[in-house]
Chains A and B, each alone.
Chain A
Amino acid sequence: MDSPFGLLAELTYRCPLACAYCSNPLNMADYSDELTTDEWRRVLVEARDLGVLQCHLSGGEPLLRRDLVEIVATAHDLGLYSNLVTSALGLSRQKAEQLLAAGLDHVQVSIQADEPAVSDRIAGTPSFRRKIEAMGVVKELGWPLTMNVVLHRQNIDRVADVLRLAEEMGADRVELANTQYYGWAWRNRDALLPSREQLEAAELVVRAARDRLRDLMDVIYVIPDYYSRYPKPCMGGWASRQLTVTPNGDVLPCPAAQSLPLPRANVREDPLERIWAESPVMTAFRGTDWMPDPCRSCDRRELDFGGCRCQAFQLTGDAARTDPVCHLSPDHDLVARAVEAANADSRAGDLPLVPRPHGVRGGDRERHDAAPQGI
């Protein structure tokens, strides 16, 4: 068993945005009993002792936690690289200065499109202008800036303009992440899944931009796995490199895994080290022993780890099946049918997006894999 490198600390699921592609769980009321400041401090110490080196402070909107500065300071004191994953709503200059003084290393700001009206429509709330202002503050204070844009059928044709905006903002990294269909996004899958033609056009633009901007900016492009031949190496393997702690202290191998029928593990009941090593939610799909065929006998089993357990569960009702994205999966027709529908000639115009309802609101989280790389 390896030690995890990264902790995704989901501080709250409360969020001022109402993105239709939100991947946070549907049953957010179950997570409203949030960990206290002292509990998060303990989680960070335990994570550091377990080998965690990076702490991604996410949500929902982490800035809605009044103790965010204290949590950042704790991460910094422990020597963790801290990354704020934010909608930027609530990132005032004063708050930004406090976070900088507390030792925050990096800021990732999400934006929904390059054009104010489109961005605001997708976010479900007027937010574009504030995001632009906040990105300016991030740069002014000398932080590295990552601009994150979740791509889907209704904004992917604007990718060239999105890249231009990132360039104008002076972003150090831009993440163009095609939507992953978890949580709320699953409900909107048919409205969000782009056509093959859209993807091909976007990939050309991204490739050209990578070449043009390579001395200025990292351009990260996350392909939509529905269109790939093999599944993504989800999280670098189940409970191998990353762990997630949800707002109420549940510990998961990835942020989508709350949907799986596995017993809960919680930092209020057990130390993180024991959870990582022994709890069924971590051990269920660790390694390759759990694999059925075609994964079990596949040469790629250590490359993609059978793909995503949550996607397998969502599409087939069985988390132990091969990710249906894989063309070798016996369930691949489930994905093929969705792709076929997204490319049907009969389909004209956009299907309506169902925004995440306000109230206990969902986040615009768009984190994906952050696997360590060797040099």
Chain B
Amino acid sequence: MEPTRAGTAARPRVGVSGSDRPRLARHVRLGFCPTRQKPILLLPETVVVLNATGAGILELCDGRRTVAEIVAELGARYRTVPDEEVRRYLTQLVARRCVELPRSGENTDG
């Protein structure tokens, strides 16, 4: 997990907050690769092989749960999932446009 360059650009990017309700971007699909036995993220020209924690976070990004709720759910599943780490992970994926943060009131069914 390396910070993207966008994060260091002149215009500072706002991080993901606890009340955001992240969802996967439209062009992104979460899946599982049977050959590699690993969870994967599929983008138009890229495949990202995920680790279990990353996949666990993204599975919960349904546009309904808040980041705080995601952290709580992961906390129940794994022993330690620091809130800050989840937010940093999501911030990076937002910067790469894999995850979106719909504004409140926006339809979250898509």
Contacts and interface: CB of A to CB of B under 8 A. Distances in A.
A51 B36 CA distance: 7
A49 B35 contact: yes
Interface in B52-78: 54
Contact of A108 (B25, B44, B54): B44
A146 interface: yes
B92 A81 contact: no
Contacts of B54: 375
A172 B9 contact: no
Q: Is the interface of A mostly helix, strand, loop or mixed?
A: loop
Contacts of A172: 26-27, 97
A324 interface: no
A178 interface: no
Contacts of A51: 33, 35-36
Given A83-B45, A146-B44, A374-B49, 7 more contacts: A6-B47, A54-B47, A81-B29, A144-B44, A220-B45, A372-B48, A375-B50
Interface string B15-36: 0000000000111010101011
Contacts of B31: 53, 79, 81
Interface of B: 1, 6, 9-11, 25-27, 29, 31, 33, 35-36, 40-50, 54, 92-93, 97, 110
A50 interface: yes
Nearest to A53: B47
The list of the 10 closest CB pairs from A to B, nearest first, reads: A144-B27, A51-B35, A81-B42, A370-B45, A372-B47, A106-B44, A5-B47, A53-B47, A375-B48, A3-B35
B10 to A, nearest CB: 8
9 contacts: A53-B31, A53-B47, A105-B29, A146-B44, A172-B26, A173-B44, A211-B9, A214-B6, A218-B97
A375 B92 contact: yes
A373 interface: yes
A142 interface: yes
A218 B44 CA distance: 11
Contacts of B47: 5-6, 53-54, 81, 372
A211 B11 contact: yes
Contacts of B50: 375
B94 to A, nearest CB: 9
B87 to A, nearest CB: 15
Nearest to A56: B45
B42 A53 contact: yes
Contacts of B36: 3, 51
Residue of B10, B11, B31, B44 ringed by the most chain A CB atoms within 10 A: B44
Contacts of B48: 372-375
Given A211-B9, A375-B1, A375-B54, A370 B46 contact: yes
B27 A372 contact: no
Nearest to B6: A214
Residue of A53, A108, A211, A214 ringed by the most chain B CB atoms within 10 A: A53
